[in-house]
Amino acid sequence: MSGQGGIVQEEVKIGVVGGSGYTGIELLRLLLRHPAVRLQAVTSRHEAGQAVSARYGNLTGQIDLTFVEPELSVLTACDLVFFATPNGVAMQLAPDLLAAGVRVIDLAADFRLRDPAVWEQWYGMAHACPELLTEAVYGLPELSRPAIQQARLVANPGCYPTAVSLALLPLVSEHVVDLQRVIADCKSGVSGAGRSTNANLLMGEVSESFKAYSVTGHRHLPEISQTLAAVNETAVQLTFVPHLVPMIRGIHATVYAPLVTTLDDLQTCFTDYYAAEPFVQVLPPGSHPETRCVRGANQCQIAVHQPQPAGPIIVLSVIDNLVKGAAGQAVQNMNLMLGLPEEMGLQQIALLP
């Protein structure tokens, strides 16, 4: 592929490793309509030999590929490879792909934490290529756009970290938040857990109910802390509690941020920070974002409140966990890495109702 001033002359060849899960299918939905790329290979160990279109009914008639094994020779024929795999897979293949000149975007957690010791602590395995952790760019465009544009290897952020980080970036970059006392109370639809064979995610178990989970410690905690600490150059003591909502898509972060100083204009702090961002929308004062307003769209909608003068700032932030929280953000990163217009292929309006 080569581009000139944003003009793409050839289609980029794309590989998707792990194309049979929810994140994979969402990547396919976006990539199949992306005007500048072509799906070259979609892999799935379990589904190899099956038509990709047979895996999910929404792909009927949309794609001619067959799932293949994730072999290196298949993937090195691509210009860019997405990993929509469980944690621990991308780190096995990424070094060889990079060596072959293939760019890599990992939608799992393999390259999100910069400290291999922290990674091993939270993910329970040794890292296969710790030397790549410093090269890997954390793919939150609103935070690190220039680095992503230059990156060979991008760690696509987790869904909760995306929602929480976008909620806090304007305040944290102003150094007005007491980062020892921030609380992120987060709520996610069930697709966040993937299409795993887990009786605890049966509709009979999770519909018509609400619960917290992983209160004792969730892997997205060190990821969020790392981002906030880097911005503010300070230690962070974050409380993060995820909850399971009886719906399929959507994350809602309710972030409580005590201030260490006064802030002149809360709303302006946010609207200024995100003024040029295509995928973050700051709602008018007094708003309450709804997850359905971003369903299927690569958008984050944010509202900010301070109901009591002595109380914390309350930031409400919603994303579709499979889009801005996963596949959509990955395509956004791809666009940046390839020099394509950042919004290309990502202009879907959310499906409402």
Choose, by CB under 8 A, the member of 65, 100, 241, 263 that binds a copy of itself.
241
The terminus-to-terminus CA distance of the chain in angstroms comes to: 39
Active-site choice (159, 186, 269, 293): 159
**Is residue 18 a contact point for a copy of itself (CB under 8 A)?**
no
Nearer to a copy of itself, 18 or 289 (CB): 289
Min separation Cβ 239 and a copy of itself, Å: 5
Site for a copy of itself in 102-121 (CB under 8 A): none
79 residue type, one letter: D
Distance CA(296)–CA(321), nearest Å, equals: 9
Distance CA(25)–CA(20), nearest Å, equals: 6
Judged by CB under 8 A, the stretch of 80-88, 164-172, 261-269, 316-324 that binds a copy of itself is: 316-324
339 residue type, one letter: G
Angle, helices 220-232 vs 159-173, to 10°: value is: 20
**Is residue 246 a contact point for a copy of itself (CB under 8 A)?**
yes
CB 143 within 8 A of CB 231: yes
Backbone angles phi, psi at 83, to 5 degrees: -105, 110
Choose, by CB under 8 A, the member of 17, 24, 29, 164 that binds a copy of itself.
29
Min separation Cβ 182 and a copy of itself, Å: 10
CB 331 within 8 A of CB 28: no
Min separation Cβ 43 and a copy of itself, Å: 19
Task: Look up 78 and say whether it is catalytic.
Answer: no
CA separation, residue 74 to residues 13, 15, 145 (Å): 11, 8, 30
93 residue type, one letter: L
Q: How many residues bind a copy of itself (CB under 8 A)?
A: 87
Site for a copy of itself in 284-313 (CB under 8 A): 286, 288-297, 301, 305, 307-308, 310-312
Min separation Cβ 31 and a copy of itself, Å: 10
Site for a copy of itself in 188-227 (CB under 8 A): 189-191, 193, 195-199, 201-213, 215-217
Choose, by CB under 8 A, the member of 169, 245, 269, 334 that binds a copy of itself.
245
306-291-324 Cα angle (round to 5)? 100
Min separation Cβ 122 and a copy of itself, Å: 13
Distance CA(151)–CA(18), nearest Å, equals: 22
**Is residue 33 a contact point for a copy of itself (CB under 8 A)?**
yes
181-185-189 Cα angle (round to 5)? 160
> What would the x/- binding string for a copy of itself be over residues 52 to 71, using CB under 8 A?
----xxxxxxx---------
Min separation Cβ 130 and a copy of itself, Å: 26
**Is residue 124 a contact point for a copy of itself (CB under 8 A)?**
no
SS3 120: helix
CB 218 within 8 A of CB 224: no
Tokens at residue 255, please? 């972030």
Nearer to a copy of itself, 55 or 103 (CB): 55
Site for a copy of itself in 320-339 (CB under 8 A): 322
Which residues carry out catalysis?
159
